[in-house]
Amino acid sequence: MVMIVGTCKLRRVISVDTGSKVDDDSQLIARARDDSTAFVQLYRSHYDVIFRYCAHRLFERAKAEDVTSEVFLKVVENIQGFKGNEQQFRCWLYRIATNAVNNHLRKTNRRNRLLKVAREQTNSRVAYCEELAEKLTVLREAVFTLKPRYQTIITLRFFENLKLTEIAEVLGSSPGTIRSQLTRSLAKLRKVLATEFMEKSEVNENER
Amino acid sequence: MNDNEKQFQDFVRNIKLDDTPDPQHRDKLEQDLLTVLAKQGELEPAPLMYKKLKARMKSQESFRETIVANPLVRKIVFQLAEVAAIVALTLSINHLFQKPAPVVPDDSTTISFYMKEHQDVVARAASLNPSPPQAAQMHVSRHDVLYYEFFDERPEFMRPGIIVRGSSSQRNIIPPESPAISNGHTLKLSEARKKADFDLVSPPWLHPGYMLDKIRIIEGRDALQLLYIDGINTLSLFEQSLDGQCGLAAQDFREYALYRNKGQTGGTILAWRDDALSYVLIGNLELPQLMDMAQSISASK
C-alpha cells in the first residue's frame, strides 16, 4: 500500500551536525570504500532522501526508482575517488542525482511526454481531493516548462529545503547566482501558474 | 525568504505527492549494489600479487643500489653515458646540416592520399570495396583544393578530408571565374540524361520527404547538380564524369572524403567515386542518412 503524505511533513531539514555525529559519518564514508557493510549502512541512510528528490523532480515514482538505482550504482563505481565529509557526500549525491535526472529528461524527451502522462495520470486516478490534484497537475506542468537547472533549483529549495549555499555547492555555483536564478525561475513559474489557473477557471465557468 | 518564495512555498505546502520510498525497491537495489561491490572486489588484485610485486621492486632497487655503491661500476656507467650523449649530439647536428628543409612553393601544398583510417571508415560505412591503400603524395595548387577541413567528431574521423579539382596529370583546367553552380541552368531529368556526357545516376532511395526539385548542368565542368528538397531543407548530389573533357581525371579524385561542414549551411558532405563518376552529396542530414543514399546509388550501378 502506498501512503500519501503531505510534502510539508516530509520536509527534511538539513542541519549542520556537530561533534561525534559528523566524525562517525565521515568515518562511515571512509570505511564504505572498502567495507560493503559500511556501504550498505550509508546507502540505507541516504536512499530515502535521494528517492524523494528524484520523485519531486520527475513526479513519477517508477521513474524515480529507476533513476535512484542509477544514482547509487554510480556511487558504487565512484566512491573510491570520493574524499570529503558527510555534508559533502550529501551534496555529491544530490549532484549525481541531478545529472541523472537531467540525463533522463533529455534522453526521453521528457518535457512533452511527461506533460501528457501527467494529465492522463491525474485524469485516470481517483483524486483524493480534486482541488489538490488539480494543483499538483498545474505545478507539474509549470515546473516542466522551466530549464532543467531551474527545475533543480526549485526542487532543492522548496521540496528538499536546502539552503542557497547548499544548492550552490550541489550545482557548483555561487550562492548569488543561485539566488538570481531562483528569482528568475519563480517569476517564470508565477507567470505560468497564473496563466494555468486563469485557463482552468475559464474552462470551469464554461462548463457551468 | 522573500514574499515570492513564501508565496510559492505556501502553494506547494498543501500539494500531496506520492513520494514514499518503497521498501521492496530499496531492498532489491541493496542486493544489486552488493552484487556490484562483490564483482568489484573480484577484480582487485589478490594480496599475493601485491607481495610479489613488492618483492620484485625491492630486488630491482637493491640491484640499483649495488651499482651506485660500487665506485668502479659507477665510473664506467657515467663514462658510457657521456659517450652516448656525445654520439647522439653529433648525429643530430649532422642530420640537421646535411638535410635542408624542403622548399615548398607558396602556391602549392603537399597532400598525402589514401590515408588508411579515413578510407576504411568511409568505405566500411558506405559498403564499398576500396582498392588496397597505397601511400602517395602529390603537389597541388592551392586553387585546386576545393574543400579542406578537419573533422570535429569522433577520433576515427579526425583526418583532413580533401576534394581536389584540376589535375596531377598534364591537362590544364582553368577554374571558372564565378562559382560553377551560378552559371548553370535548370533541366528536367529526361533532358539531363540526354545532355550529360555520362549515364546520370538518380538515387533509387531518398530520405523520406525529399523530392527531386531541379537539375542543373554545371557548364564547363561536365558535372550535374541534382537538387532535392523536402520543403525546408535541400540536399544536393553532384555527379561528375571522371574521364570527361573537363572533369576530373580518375587518378585525381583519389579520396573518399567525409566532412562536417560545421560553420556553414552545407551540413554534412560525403564524397566518393566509382569507376566512371565522382559523387558529392551535401545536405543537412545526418551521416547515416547520407550513407543510405550513397549505398542505394552504389547498389544501383
Residue A89 domain-assigned (yes or no): yes
Q: Give A113→chain B minimum CA distance, Å.
A: 19
Residues A92 and A117 grouped into a single domain: no
Residues A134 and A151 grouped into a single domain: yes
Q: From 3.30.200.100, 3.30.70.360, 3.40.50.720, 3.40.50.1580, which CATH number describes the B108-300 domain?
A: 3.30.200.100
Residue B29: closest C-alpha in chain A = A69
Residues A120 and A166 grouped into a single domain: yes
Residues A70 and A96 grouped into a single domain: yes
**Poorest-pLDDT segment among A68-82, A145-159, B153-167, B168-182:** B168-182
| pLDDT value at residue A94 | 93
Q: Give A186→chain B minimum CA distance, Å.
A: 7
- Here the CATH number for the domain that contains residue A184 is 1.20.140.160
Residue A9 domain-assigned (yes or no): no
Mean pLDDT to the nearest integer, B188-192: 77
Where do the structural domains in chain B lie, given as residue ranges? Answer: 108-300
Residue A1 domain-assigned (yes or no): no
CA–chain centroid gap for A45, Å, is 17
Residues A198 and A115 grouped into a single domain: yes
- Here the CATH number for the domain that contains residue A83 is 1.10.1740.10
Q: Which residue out of A186, A188, A197 would a mutagenesis test of the B interface target, given it has the greatest number of B Cβ atoms within 10 Å?
A: A186
Nearest residue to B222 (alpha-carbon basis) of B235, B234, B237, B238 = B238
Taking only the tens place, the pLDDT of each residue in B81-103 is: 999 999 999 888 888 776 555 54
Taking only the tens place, the pLDDT of each residue in B99-136 is: 555 544 444 444 433 333 344 444 444 444 444 444 33
Q: Over the range B276-289, which residues count as b (16 or more CB within 10 Å of their CB) and which as e?
A: ebbbbbbbebebeb
| A68 touches A94 (CB < 8 A) | no
Residues A85 and A118 grouped into a single domain: no
Residue at which a domain ends, from A60, A85, A108:
A108
Nearest residue to A192 (alpha-carbon basis) of A137, A134, A145, A156 = A145
Edge-to-edge order in the sheet of strand B277-283:
B185-187, B211-218, B223-229, B234-241, B277-283, B267-273, B257-261
Taking only the tens place, the pLDDT of each residue in B131-141 is: 444 433 444 45
Q: Which residues from B are below 8 Å from A36, CB to CB?
A: 34, 37-38
Q: Which residues from B are below 8 Å from A59, CB to CB?
A: 17
Residue A6 domain-assigned (yes or no): no
Residue A4 domain-assigned (yes or no): no
Residue at which a domain ends, from A108, A143, A163:
A108
The number of domains in chain A is 2
Residues A90 and A31 grouped into a single domain: yes
Taking only the tens place, the pLDDT of each residue in A35-66 is: 888 888 889 989 999 999 998 888 888 889 99
Chain A residues 82-121 within an 8 A CB cutoff of chain B: none
Residues A65 and A96 grouped into a single domain: yes
Q: What is the DSSP string of B101-163?
A: PPPPPTTEEEEEE--HHHHHHHHHHHT--PPPP--EEEEEEGGGEEEEE---S-GGG-S-EEE
| pLDDT value at residue A22 | 56
| pLDDT value at residue B96 | 78
Residue at which a domain ends, from A80, A108, A136:
A108
Residues A102 and A120 grouped into a single domain: no
Residue ranges for chain A with pLDDT beneath 70: 1-24, 108-132, 196-208
Residue B34: closest C-alpha in chain A = A36
Quote the mean pLDDT of chain B: 66
Can you say whether the dihedral through the CA atoms of A132, A135, A137, A140 is positive or negative? negative
Q: Which residue out of B17, B34, B39, B40 would a mutagenesis test of the A interface target, given it has the greatest number of A Cβ atoms within 10 Å?
A: B17
The total number of residues written for chain A in this structure:
208
Using the predicted structure, report yes or no on whether residue B264 has a pLDDT greater than 60. Answer: no
Residues A184 and A170 grouped into a single domain: yes
- Segments forming the whole domain that contains residue A25: 20-108
